[in-house]
Amino acid sequence: MSERIIIKGGRQLKGEVSIGGAKNAVLKLMAAALLLDDICEIHNVPELSDVQTMIEVINHLGVKTEYKPSEKSLIINAKHITNYEACYELVSKMRASFIVLGALLGRCKEARVALPGGCAIGERRIDLHIKGLEALGAQVKIEGGYVVAKATKLVGAEIHLDRPSVGATENLMLAAVLAEGSSIINNAAQEPEIVDLANFLNSIGADISGAGTSEIVINGVKQKDLHSTVYTTVPDRIEAGTYIAAIVATRGHAIVRNVFPNHLSSVLSKLTEMGATTTIIDPFSIEVNCVNRTRAADMVTQPYPGFPTDLQSPFMSIMAVSKGISIVTESIYENRFRHVGELRRMGADIQQEGNHAIIKGVKFLTGTQVKASDLRAGAALIVASLCANGTCEIENLHHIDRGYEILEHKLSMLGANITRVVDDVSGVDAHIQSNSPISQSYEV
């Protein structure tokens, strides 16, 4: 069986949309729960296939979980960890699961985690993870496709990252929580998800300061100092940015709710430059309005607080129909232009030169059949299809389902003409209403 999304483009998006919990935050909170010899409850957990994968990863370690779809809450009981190995079968599904390395090492003083391997959007090395863990006193080796780490004890250290890696920052934070003494991570990643992880860890009894800056200090605590917590994860800034891009691309007018506007400062600034209007109407809501065709603008992806690489793809869909020539420079991942070929199939005029994409805006895109090559490339095709003339069919939806919760429902509520269909073995199209991998179907 295969699934595809059919979008009849050309409709302005209007109304309101509410953003779910941050995928890139909640996955790390789930790993952090491994440090806790107790039960914790996380709220605002999105219904995504990546969340289901992480549940499988920690269940494999002996952790008990209970997800409550109606409440968007996840209860994690990590009192008994019975396995120190995160196997390749699970880690290969989602690179973010590699983050259990730091938590297992911190609590159990040993871990065996599969190397995540390559990724469609580019290389993501683990050298900084290993060097940092070794600085804390771990013995780390790679054997048989696994990272094997052991330590009699972990001792605080000052660690300087060669680059502000999000994953390395998170893994080292987790390992340092139960280390003896204080640790300092210099040139740390500053993303909001790092801050959320630190806030969660502090809520269970850790002692962390400086998250959100380039220097994070972790004062080690004892296992007995950690305790249960109930915690609500932050809204997903990338989901919010994608819906904002869709509203602008369709020249719509809508309100995006349950969002932290300060997490999107670089995005809102770029939209202003392109001629769209964004207004913060309350601490958790942004009004988005775009009356005229947007103007071209240049963009360089950078670590936070710069323009996020995860929104480069959907914003290129806006640039494809903007007036003038835009230049996009992708400085984070070398293969994050895989959506370019599919946008060209829709009539976009894009030339790629290394890590630069030169986009000459056309008046309109045309609907056709396209395939998502990764999560954010899929988001780009959704945005492009919504503003295109005619009908688009998007395949490879498993990529999109990794990061966008009840996508068709939310877009339908904004006025989009969007349907998900499943092709059964007999070749008959059956319409379905839910893209949720861990909940029952909903009704619009």
- Residues belonging to the active site: 119
Amino acid in the structure at residue 146:
Y
Distance CA(299)–CA(315), nearest Å, equals 9
Q: DSSP per residue over 325-340, as a string?
A: EEEEE--S-TTTTTTH
* DSSP β-bridge partners for residue 229: 40
Assign residue 344 a region (left: φ > 0; alpha: ψ between -120 and 50; beta: otherwise). alpha
Dihedrals phi, psi of 389, to nearest 5 degrees: -85, 130
- Kindly report whether the peptide bond that precedes residue 46 is cis, defined as omega within 30 degrees of 0: no
Return the axis-axis angle of helices 265-274 and 237-249, rounded to nearest 10°.
10
On whether the CB atoms of residues 266 and 308 are closer than 8 A, the answer is: yes
Distance CA(384)–CA(391), nearest Å, equals 11
Strands of 85-86's sheet, edge to edge? 85-86, 110-114, 146-150, 139-143
Tokens of 315: 């914003």
Dihedrals phi, psi of 279, to nearest 5 degrees: -130, 125
Residues 6+ apart with CB under 8 A from 414: 13, 14, 15, 16, 17, 243, 246, 247, 252, 254
Chain centroid, CA 281 distance in Å: 25
Q: DSSP per residue over 416-438, as a string?
A: -EEEEEEE-TTS-EEEE----SS
Degrees, nearest 5: CA angle 192-312-388 = 130
Residues 6+ apart with CB under 8 A from 389: 9, 10, 364, 365, 366, 367
Degrees, nearest 5: CA angle 235-237-124 = 115
Task: For residue 202, give the 3-state DSSP assignment.
Answer: helix
